[in-house]
Structure 1
């Protein structure tokens, strides 16, 4: 595997890990509800883990599917127009900066971008009711696969990164590793919701995560190439 792909996958994982406090606000509630709906008793922890993993891997699978579709278009565009690659890199960097500003609670402009996915979510969200309440792993997987389409600035920011990948499979893997980065916080939400809520609201954690996401965005911007245009 090319070293640049390793860097891309590890960076996507880091973005997911840093931005996971945002994920708690978007998906944490439904993740915690999976645990609370289970009857406490023998085998509770096993059933809880199974449902949480199924839900989250359904969510991550949707991210990879969306990335594959985006990459299918972006790789064709980059092959036909030389400027398309620069445009994608600039877009990816700007989205990450916007997400960092939102995470640090300095500016919430990313919400305007999230609205772009609202029509798709309005179509899919009624389908989630078919799998509630969740009683088995199959229902959790299906619910997670739908929940992955929830409009989310962090997902859109990383999709911009995934669109930069040279192939469709590498773009899908980039979003898969991003999803893995969000997984620890999402699992912890199910296991210890109260503790995670306290971490989510900690201003220092949000600001540090925001700054690091902004730095990722600045690193992504093709500043030198843009100056040479």
Structure 2
């Protein structure tokens, strides 16, 4: 495995961690509600854990699938046209910058990008409602797999970065590591919703996360290659 791929995977994981506040806004509510339908009693914690794991593994699996589908196109395009790689790098960098601006609450232009996925979500949303209330891990897994298609600027930003990978498996792994980065906050939501809500509303945390995402975006932009053109 090439060293730069290690960097991409670790960076994708960090982006997932930094985007926790955004993830909690998009998916935290449904994740926390999984516990509310369970009767409190013997085995409650085990059942709660299984539901949370099922939902989040389904969600991450969808991220990985979407990255695979996009990479089937992006890797072929980059191999045929040299300019395609520069275009994808530019878009990936801009998406991360837009997400950072949104996270820091400086500008919400990423919402226009999120609207691109609305047609797909309109078709999947009715299916997700049929799975509620969730009573077992299989239902939670299916719900998470559908929820992974929810229009999300943070997911789209990372997908743009995954599309830059040289192979389809590398793109899929990038989104897998991103999803694993979101996992700690999403799992904790089910156990400590009030504490997580405080983190989400902390302005200092949001601005720091936003600034770091912007830095990732600037690092991704192909300034040197564009100058040479």
TM-score, normalised on structure 1? 0.99
Distance (whole Å) between structure 1 residues aligned to residue 36 and residue 196 of structure 2: 15
User: How far off its partner does 1:35 sit?
Assistant: 1.1
User: How far off its partner does 1:131 sit?
Assistant: 1.0
Is 1:13 aligned to 2:2, yes or no?
A: no
Counterpart position of 1:26:
26
User: How far off its partner does 1:149 sit?
Assistant: 0.2
User: How far off its partner does 1:2 sit?
Assistant: 1.2
RMSD (Å) for aligned C-alpha atoms: 0.5
Counterpart position of 2:116:
116
Counterpart position of 1:78:
78
Counterpart position of 1:49:
49
After superposition, give the CA deviation of every residue in 1:39-88 in whole Å (9 maximum; x if it has no partner): 11111111111100010000000000000000000001001100000111
Distance (whole Å) between structure 1 residues aligned to residue 204 and residue 186 of structure 2: 20
Distance (whole Å) between structure 2 residues aligned to residue 151 and residue 222 of structure 1: 27
Counterpart position of 1:65:
65
Distance (whole Å) between structure 2 residues aligned to residue 99 and residue 66 of structure 1: 19
Counterpart position of 1:105:
105
Distance (whole Å) between structure 2 residues aligned to residue 78 and residue 2 of structure 1: 18
| Number of aligned positions between the proteins | 229
Counterpart position of 1:134:
134
Unaligned runs of 5+ in 1: none
- Runs of 4 or more consecutive aligned structure 1 residues displaced over 3 Å after TM superposition: none
After superposition, give the CA deviation of every residue in 1:4-52 in whole Å (9 maximum; x if it has no partner): 1111100000000001110000000000000111111111111111100
Distance (whole Å) between structure 1 residues aligned to residue 204 and residue 38 of structure 2: 34
Counterpart position of 1:217:
217
Distance (whole Å) between structure 2 residues aligned to residue 36 and residue 130 of structure 1: 17
Counterpart position of 1:208:
208
Residue 135 of structure 1 aligns to a residue in which SS?
Answer: coil
Counterpart position of 1:189:
189
After superposition, give the CA deviation of every residue in 1:74-133 in whole Å (9 maximum; x if it has no partner): 001001100000111111000000000000000000000000000000000000122110
User: How far off its partner does 1:215 sit?
Assistant: 0.2
After superposition, give the CA deviation of every residue in 1:174-197 in whole Å (9 maximum; x if it has no partner): 000000000000011111111111
TM-score, normalised on structure 2? 0.99
User: How far off its partner does 1:204 sit?
Assistant: 0.3
